[in-house]
């Protein structure tokens, strides 16, 4: 790497992590917090670690050769053109580093719904001690023996499947391509996307864990929501655009399904007047399912491994594929 070219990062790696990255790259890592300084210094960048780039990145970063995205989903970069094959910039994602955290989040959401935990917290705040769980419809559902349907079996979906097995659940799932008679060690039954409705009709819990691409946008609309069982609980840890949100709100109001755990929404931040805030059968969080105290360590390990490969001229981990859209 020429001395005048630099590695810039908008992710704030700790001092210890910067030392690991410096050793892997044999060059300094410059972490920038100020947007103006970041934009001004893009002209120096050969490598960038960031979740975003400006629309005019070609002009500001003429020497950019590789973008290591600091997140798994890169759909937000699509309008910039950097994901297009003609951009000539390698893009790698952080796919894989969220599996543990998001897997735990999914089961936290499902368990909260099963035990009516949001309502119990509200009762605690009001200093109410119900004489009977029936008074406030405090649920006692169990995961054991229930069917868990997973849409998307990447690293996150696979971790969710493994946890489902640990809870004694029957685990089924969809994959983009499924060969006839295919088996998976973590899945009891595999379905191609063409049989999505069949899978939904069998599921007591459904988890969305697919990337947002042109083929998955509004994947879950009215027909899919109506295919769900009335007692089903839907968890979305993917992207809000994968669900037709107005139809989801209607489904939750009219009882097509029992509830939803949403970490992502169609518009973020979610407008204050959105009905999702007040629906009693929704557990809503602000896109934080992937947040973890271990994020810095995991991203450092991935980025350092890729820096070593970059220096050696070897293929990088998690290379974005324009043909697939992720």
Q: What is the pTM of this model?
A: 0.94
pLDDT tens across 58-99, in order?
Answer: 999 999 999 999 999 999 999 999 999 888 999 999 999 999
CA distances to 42, 115, 223, 229, 258 from 280, rounded to whole Å, are 47, 14, 23, 18, 10
The CATH code of the domain at 99-284 is 3.40.50.720
The CATH code of the domain at 6-97+293-312 is 3.40.50.720
Kindly list the catalytic residues. Answer: 239, 268, 287
Domain with CATH 3.40.50.720 in the chain: 6-97+293-312, 99-284
Predicted confidence band of residue 124 (pLDDT cuts 50, 70, 90): very high
* Sequence-distant (≥ 6) Cβ neighbours of residue 321 within 8 angstroms: none
As a whole number of angstroms, the distance between CA 46 and CA 52 comes to 15
Helix (H, G, I), strand (E, B) or coil at 17: helix
Nearest residue to 19 (alpha-carbon basis) of 318, 314, 307: 307
pLDDT tens across 235-292, in order?
Answer: 999 999 999 999 999 999 999 999 999 999 999 999 999 999 999 999 999 999 999 9
Whether residue 221 has pLDDT greater than 90: yes
Helix (H, G, I), strand (E, B) or coil at 25: helix
């Amino acid at each position: 790497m020429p001395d005048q070219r630099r590695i810039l990062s908008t992710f704030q790696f700790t001092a210890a992590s910067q030392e690991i990255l410096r050793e892997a790259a044999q060059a300094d890592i410059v972490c920038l917090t100020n947007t103006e300084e970041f934009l001004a210094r893009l002209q120096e960048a050969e490598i960038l670690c960031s979740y975003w780039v400006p629309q005019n990145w070609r002009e500001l970063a003429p020497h950019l050769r590789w973008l290591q995205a600091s997140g798994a989903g890169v759909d937000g970069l699509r309008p910039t053109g950097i994901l297009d094959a003609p951009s000539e910039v390698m893009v790698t994602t952080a796919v894989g580093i969220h599996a543990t955290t998001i897997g735990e989040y999914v089961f936290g959401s499902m368990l909260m719904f099963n035990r009516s935990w949001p309502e119990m917290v509200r009762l605690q705040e009001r200093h109410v001690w119900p004489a009977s769980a029936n008074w406030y419809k405090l649920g006692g559902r169990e995961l054991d023996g229930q069917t868990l349907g997973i849409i998307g079996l990447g690293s996150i979906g696979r971790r969710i499947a493994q946890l489902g097995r640990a809870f004694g659940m029957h685990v089924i799932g969809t994959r983009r391509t499924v060969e006839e008679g295919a088996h998976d060690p973590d899945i009891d039954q595999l379905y191609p996307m063409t049989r999505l409705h069949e899978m939904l009709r069998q599921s007591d819990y459904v988890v969305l864990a697919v990337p947002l691409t042109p083929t998955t946008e509004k994947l879950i609309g009215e027909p899919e929501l109506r295919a769900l069982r009335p007692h089903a609980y839907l968890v979305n840890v993917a992207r809000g655009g994968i669900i037709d949100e107005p139809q989801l709100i209607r489904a939750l109001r009219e009882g097509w399904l029992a509830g939803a755990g949403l970490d992502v929404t169609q518009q973020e931040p979610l407008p204050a007047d959105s009905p999702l805030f007040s629906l009693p059968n929704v557990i809503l969080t602000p896109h934080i399912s992937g947040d973890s105290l271990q994020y810095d360590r995991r991203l450092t390990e991935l980025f350092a491994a890729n820096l070593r490969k970059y220096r050696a001229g070897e293929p990088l981990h998690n290379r974005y594929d324009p043909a697939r859209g992720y």
